[in-house]
Structure 1
Amino acid sequence: MSWSLALLTALTANLDNLGVGLAYGVKGIKLSWQANGVIAVVAFAFTWFAERAGSLIKLYFGVASAHVTGAVLIMAIGSWILGGAVFSTNHMYRPEQADRDRSQHISAQEALILGIALSVNAIPIGFEAAAFSFPELIMPCLIAIFSFLTLWCGVVFGKLLGAAHTGKRTTILSGVLLVVIGLYQLFSFISP
């Protein structure tokens, strides 16, 4: 995995965060630095655990198994995100639902739940990082950094733009890009 692909993958895995941030900005829901930090830490943890699992698969079942597992998981998560956004079964483009107490402010507990929902698509990224023997902890750090930045930028731009439907579009884009990246990873490994 090249650095440019790692950066693109980390950004793509967090495009739904951008959509969530946009929706929060539009609706005036406050996301503190601390809540955003909690979400970033959860993203780091999910990616790191997946990276460790990918290393074990690579160790016990070989590099091919780790590559295929990571690529298939990336495509599956991308398809799930895409299907949820298109067919309205996934409420990620309606992130105001995370504000369970309707306080217009995301608490630490709500941030933890939101962080888990937003970090699911980081799992296959950790597998792929391990399969490609990418330096350990780099991908979890990239995922956490992009998680924090995309949420923060989304809130800022949401306040400025007021584009209520942009969140769903970024979720769809995230799903499509994850499927494309998964296919690229799978075919780049299979073809010589």
Structure 2
Amino acid sequence: MLMLLLSALLFSISSNLDNVVVGTAYGIKKIRIGIIANFIIAVVTTTGTFLSMSAGSYIAKFMPQSVSNVLGAAIIVVVGIYFVIQSLIKLIHNTNARELALKDLSHMVEYAERSDVDKSGHIDAKEAFMLALGLTFNNLGTGIAASITGVNIFLTVISTFLISILTIILGYSIGKNVLGRFFGKYAPLIAGVLLIVLGFIEMFN
């Protein structure tokens, strides 16, 4: 049970680090993400996680457990390595290397400013929904791979919902101080490392 919970938490944290970057960007621009907007983001991203993991669980039925476990874990590790490499390229060369999924803080700051069309100082339900779709789409592949390896869907869905809400709040809070830019800069690297750890746990579990 402990390993199931650990795997669910690792996946949820790594997939929700995008939320920290998003919250940080909005905090930097002082554009408020209210309770309703945060709830919408959590519901949409959690629904996406559930659907992708359900698809992965269905795919796993057609494979021997040993094969599905190694295949899913290998995909997670490869994606994690990709995130780490792309993050290191950006940090070392200060370039805008394109991540497969994770948000870039500088780009998100620009997006935050553009998304507040009416200059109200907060995002409405429609803006939150569109933002959540982008966050959800980014994590579909890893959701499928995690489910193929046997990561518990129920625990992951619950933890994803809770961590989604918390990471938005955390990101917005730290976005209003210098820590926000530091964390936003290293979030993709941290997420990549967490995915690699998760992949190896599932591979040898």
Partner of 1:30: 32
Cα distance in 1, alignment partners of residues 124 and 199 from structure 2: 34
Following TM superposition, by how much is the alpha carbon of 1:146 offset from its aligned partner in structure 2, in angstroms?
A: 0.6
- Relative to the length of structure 2, the TM-score reads 0.75
- Deviation of 1:99 after TM superposition, in Å, equals 4.8
Counterpart check, 1:92 vs 2:104: yes
1:152 is displaced (CA, Å) by 0.9
Distance 1:146 1:164 in 2: 20
- Separation in 1, partners of 2:127, 2:82: 23
| Alignment deviations for residues 88-139 of structure 1 (CA, whole Å, 9 cap, x no partner) | 22453232315534434323233223223323236424542453262x4321
5+ long unaligned stretches in structure 1: none
Cα 1:81–1:118 shift into 2, 3 Å: farther
Structure 2 gaps of 5+ residues are: none
What does residue range 20-169 of structure 1 map to in structure 2 within 5 Å?
20-82=22-84, 85=87, 86=90, 87-88=95-96, 89-90=98-99, 91-93=103-105, 94-96=107-109, 97-102=111-116, 103=119, 104-119=121-136, 120-121=138-139, 123-125=141-143, 127-129=145-147, 131-132=149-150, 134=152, 136-161=153-178, 163-169=180-186
Residues 162 and 11 of structure 1: is their aligned pair in 2 closer, same or farther, counting only changes over 3 Å? closer
SS of the residue 2:11 aligns to: helix
- How much is the aligned-residue C-alpha RMSD, in angstroms? 2.7
Identity %: 29
SS in 2 for 1:31: coil
| AA aligned opposite 1:148 | I
